[in-house]
Amino acid sequence: MIPEEVLQFAKERGARMVDFKFVDLPGSWQHFSVPVRELKEDIFVEGVPFDGSSIRGFQTINESDMLIIPDPDTAIMDPFTTIPTLSLICNIAHPGPLGIKRPYSRDPRYIASKAEEYLRSSGIADTSYFGPEAEFYIFDNVRYNSTDNIQYVEIDSDEAHWNSSRNSTPNLGHRMRVKEGYFPVAPNDTLQDIRSEMVLLLEEIGVPVETHHHEVGAAGQAEIDMRFNTLVKIADSLMLYKYVTKNVARKHGKTVTFMPKPVFGDNGSGMHTHQSLWKDEKPLFYDCQGYASISQLARYYIGGLLTHAPALLAIAAPTTNSYKRLVPGFEAPINLVFSKGNRSAAVRIPLTENPAAKRVEFRPPDPAANPYLLFSAMLMAGLDGIRREIEPSDHGYGPVDRDLYHLSEVEMREIRSVPGSLDEVMNALEDDHAFLLEGDVFTTDVLEHYIEFKRAQADEMRLRPVPIEFTLYYDI
């Protein structure tokens, strides 16, 4: 749409409010609203002022004046407001003298747009496609607290095995056994209609969906797979995905979490991300003669992903909780190798002979990641691999076509794995970030603030005793 069409769209649908949504540095949507009479064409150029000092990762209070610049292509009617509300995703800018505005370096959406421009300027390709598979849990209840004298969390899912002996309400059995949520039908799967409602609503607001299903986690784990799209558009879609799933669940008296590891002893939630490069509408990752039918260009791209994986994880798996999912010995993609059709490898090449569908899948990311930063960082790592011709086989990254979960101890010593904590990946990002600075896509300022923010989270976790410590140590 163009601004004039957005105004007409709002009028035709009876919008009475306009909601401006934008993303903070950690990756959560923020918003504020104005009456629809304030929506004029010049807003899409001049922007709307707001206080940037109250947004995580943005400005200090002495330099807090910021602008949101709505993107007219993102106009939809918000599906959850009682008052008809037009929703617009926005970019962030600095106000300047004489009305001159400059994009805000810490705006994740701006970083993503720069990554797309850098790809085009490289001459390697003109389009990058991403297809994230974001997993999440749908719980019936969650209680948590963390104060000086209280540390606890309690979650509940009616589907979970721990409710098989519940007495407080009628108990009809058919609970999910641990790690057996993939793919029992009803009555074990109680969430079919809720997932379908999420899918239909996503499609209604312009986010095409390919499939949905119950995931392995027995306590209500789910997955809805969106159709792939270009970098900024798929990041926008992932923000809508989180918004829709959380609010549909709330409507049904349930709650959605994208925490990577909310349930002990059952599967964590990942966000395996498929990616490919195209030029002049032709796929660049296919070669019928290559290993798993991938091109040498794709191998170099994989080499970049695996070489920079420790640093990438600072953005791809950005919470302390992420490293309760990425642990050895469980169904987690910690092994820094590539392989065809092998879900135990960090990089999987899906088995397809369709050139247009040939892609690589990077499996360590989780849905706590800021999608704009994540997709941009993976693209930059892959392009660095292409630019430097990093052949993964020359660096011990495979291919490995065996089940990595059943290798011997000696064999496993030959395979590198991802770092094991948020502190370690932040160290890796500090040591290895030059590839992100190419083309001024990321800036030193962004990375410094990001690392500072994440280290503060790691400190919060490190300082607090947790309940299991009382079980282990209280009586020593």
Which of 116, 223, 266, 384 is flagged as catalytic?
A: 223
Tell me which of 107, 135, 158, 236 is the catalytic residue: 135
DSSP string, 103-147: E-TT-HHHHHHHHHHHHHHHSS-SEEEEEEEEEEEEESEEEEEES
For this structure, is 223 an active site residue? yes
CB atoms inside a 10 Å sphere around CB 390: 23
Is residue 316 a contact partner of residue 369, using CB atoms and an 8 Å limit?
Answer: yes
Please tell me which residue in 24, 140, 158, 361 is annotated as part of the active site: 361
Q: Provide the CA 332 distance to its chain's centre, in angstroms.
A: 16
- CA–CA distance, 165 with 167 (Å, rounded to integer): 6
For residues 335 and 344, the answer to whether their CB atoms sit within 8 Å is yes
- Which listed residue (41, 51, 431, 440) is catalytic? 51
Query: Look-up: residue for tokens 């948020």?
Result: 422
Residue count of the chain? 476
> Which candidate in 215, 236, 266, 384 is catalytic?
215
Is 460 among the catalytic positions? Answer: no
Q: Is 135 a catalytic residue?
A: yes
Cβ atoms < 10 Å from Cβ of 297:
21
Of 24, 116, 133, 159, which one is the catalytic site residue? 133
Which candidate, 369, 358, 156, 211, places its Cα nearest to that of 378?
Answer: 369
- One-letter-per-residue 3-state SS of 356-397: HHCCEEECCCCCCCCHHHHHHHHHHHHHHHHHCCCCHHHHCC
How many whole angstroms separate alpha carbon 423 and alpha carbon 420? 9
Residue from 106, 272, 299, 325 carrying the catalytic annotation = 272
The token duo for 355 is 């050139």
Catalytic residue among 363, 366, 384, 433: 363
Q: Is 56 a catalytic site residue?
A: no
Q: Residues 161, 343, 416, 449: which is the catalytic one?
A: 343
Nearest to 201 by CA among 190, 212, 187: 212
Asked about 215 being catalytic, the answer comes back as yes
The 3-state DSSP composition of the chain as helix, strand, coil percent (nearest 5) reads 40, 25, 40
Instruction: Answer positive or negative: Cα dihedral of 334, 340, 343, 348.
Output: positive
Can 272 be counted among the known catalytic residues?
A: yes
**How is residue 120 written in tokens?**
């085009």
> Active-site residue 203, yes or no?
no
- Cβ atoms 252, 100 nearer than 8 A: no
Write the single-letter amino acid at 192.
Q
Active site residue 12: no
51 part of the active site = yes
Q: What does the block give as tokens for 14?
A: 């009876």
Report how far residue 292's alpha carbon sits from residue 395's, in angstroms, rounded to the nearest whole number: 19
| Catalytic machinery residues | 51, 133, 135, 215, 223, 272, 343, 361, 363
